[in-house]
Amino acid sequence: MIAEIKENVLYFDGCSTVELAEKYGTPLYVYSENAILKECNEIKNCFLDKYENTRAAYATKAFSSIAMCKIMDREGFCMDVVSGGELFTAIKAGFPAEKIEFNGNNKLKEELELAVDYEIGRIIIDGLQELSLIEEICKEKNKKMNVLYRITPGVDSHTHDYITTGKKDSKFGIPLDEEVIYPAIEAAINSPYVNFKGIHFHVGSQLFDNRSHLLALETTLQLVKKTKEKFGFDITELNVGGGFGVTYTDEQRKSYEYFLKPIMERIIEFSNEMGMERPAVVIEPGRSMVAEAGINLYKVGSIKNIKGIRKYVSIDGGMTDNIRPALYQAEYKGVIANKMDKQADEVITVCGKCCESGDILIKDGKFAEAEAGDILAIFSTGAYGYSMSSNYNKNPIPGVVLVKDGKSAEMIKRQSYEDMIARECYTEL
Ligand code: LLP
């Protein structure tokens, strides 16, 4: 068990959360390596080891750090990056460049130049002008890049509007209008500067239903078929994105197999019908790799009991280390980590310390009675927490610790006040 109770204290991957809070300070991001490895193993068992010519590219936007890149490399994963910064982090971690794939709807020229210089594995082209930009850079540098096209498959994935990405009305991908997509494919096939590999889609995030993936796949396979008919060209790679949902409160998580088995079966069936070699299949899981592997630890401070209305329990972090409740109305569960023997029968609202009424992490959650100095743990915070953190109100970004079998080590040091102002300057004008 990753989370367990010993002597009334919450332990996470063998470490006392109270001791972690004392040793590293709060707020604190804590990741269980065993929980991350469990995700890797599930993907290996039902996908990577089961089918040849498959890859899993961890979407590092969920949590990007040198340590995480090293773990992913050791586990044989590839890496999906979406910015020069994520690319740079992976390269600095010694992550093999040929296993990096670059997504994003507005890759800057300097970011593409970096990608070409490092000779990364794939660039996933997201718009019509991007091919010309890549060609220009490759021509100048005498390089040839592997590329895919990200399409907008036109499916609505029924998740929060901000994290649905596969609809036609989207800033992501290339729409499937015949007069748009086929000239683009033809240009890539004929380009001397790129190897056109195939098609990418990502339908949305935090999904519990495989229908959006399967609908998008159907559209993609039609594209593969027509590309063969029109240009006599066999597409050799399909990237079906990420989006596999996780448990924050009481969601019933679906297995990777639930999503991937029907996808693989359909692609195999299609390839047989077409008499073509099955394309490589790539997935890009982000959230599911790290969300449940992470918890946040806070110290309880001021408590305000507004009679007949609500009890506000303030902690020493907030929207600066987890923006998701404020941004997406995301819900979380938590516990008082040093009172695991006490009944969680008090309804409280856990709020942060930012000057913002919306800085609430858990509204009306059930906890043991909280007192100043208690350690409050919030679960499933490993994805899009640290990576979306900010310095609002000049709150320093908390440290990040990795735990495994009772051992712990810092992955990212807590930001100091000095760190925060290190790049600031003033010249009187
Ligand atoms: N591939 C592409 C092209 C993506 O756009 C994304 C996520 C992923 C893979 C990974 O998806 P995942 O497996 O994590 O669902 N900040 C939001 C999530 C934004 C997701 C954006 N794209 C949140 O906190 O819910």
Q: Which ranges of 275-331 would DSSP assign to H, the alpha helix?
A: 287-290, 324-328
Please tell me whether residues 172 and 187 are part of one structural domain: yes
Last residue of a domain, one of 239, 270, 290: 290
Please tell me whether residues 158 and 94 are part of one structural domain: yes
Please tell me whether residues 22 and 125 are part of one structural domain: no
Closest residue by Cα to atom 1, ligand 1, is 241
**pLDDT at res. 157:** 62
Cα(243) to ligand 1 centroid in Å equals 6
| Beta bridge pairs of residue 124 | 148
Closest residue by Cα to atom 24, ligand 1, is 384
| Domain assignment present for 242 | yes
| Domain assignment present for 45 | no
**pLDDT at res. 154:** 84
Mean pLDDT by runs of 10 across the 429 residues of the chain is 96 98 98 98 98 98 98 98 98 98 98 98 96 98 98 75 64 92 97 98 96 96 97 98 98 98 98 97 98 98 96 98 98 98 97 97 98 98 98 98 98 98 98
| Domain assignment present for 426 | no
- State if residue 286 touches ligand 1 by the CB under 6 angstroms criterion: yes
* Token reading at 241: 């994105």
**pLDDT at res. 200:** 98
For residue 299, the enclosing domain spans 3-31+293-421
**pLDDT at res. 50:** 98
**pLDDT at res. 365:** 98
Q: At residue 149, what are phi and psi to the nearest 5 degrees?
A: -105, 130
Please tell me whether residues 324 and 252 are part of one structural domain: no
Per-residue buried b or exposed e for 191-222, using 16+ beta carbons within 10 Å of the residue's own CB: bebbebbbbbbbbbbbbbebebbbbbbebbbe
- Check which CATH number belongs to the domain holding 320 and give it: 2.40.37.10
Cα(206) to ligand 1 centroid in Å equals 8
**Number of domains forming the structure of the chain:** 2
- Check which CATH number belongs to the domain holding 164 and give it: 3.20.20.10
Q: At residue 170, what are phi and psi to the nearest 5 degrees?
A: -150, 150
Nearest alpha carbon to residue 191 among 119, 137, 228: 137
Rounded CA gap, 203 and 43, in Å? 19
Cis peptide leading into 27, omega within 30 of 0?
Answer: yes
- State if residue 243 touches ligand 1 by the CB under 6 angstroms criterion: yes
- State if residue 300 touches ligand 1 by the CB under 6 angstroms criterion: no
Last residue of a domain, one of 243, 274, 290: 290
Nearest alpha carbon to residue 72 among 286, 260, 280: 286
Stated pTM of the model: 0.97
- Counting Cβ atoms within 10 Å, is residue 76 exposed (0-12), middle (13-18) or buried (19+)? middle
Nearest alpha carbon to residue 152 among 194, 212, 210, 110: 212
Last residue of a domain, one of 237, 259, 290: 290
Catalytic residue numbers?
A: 355
Please tell me whether residues 142 and 285 are part of one structural domain: yes
Mutate to test the pocket of ligand 1, among 39, 205, 282, 292 (most ligand atoms within 8 A of CB): 205
Closest residue by Cα to atom 19, ligand 1, is 163
Cα(383) to ligand 1 centroid in Å equals 9
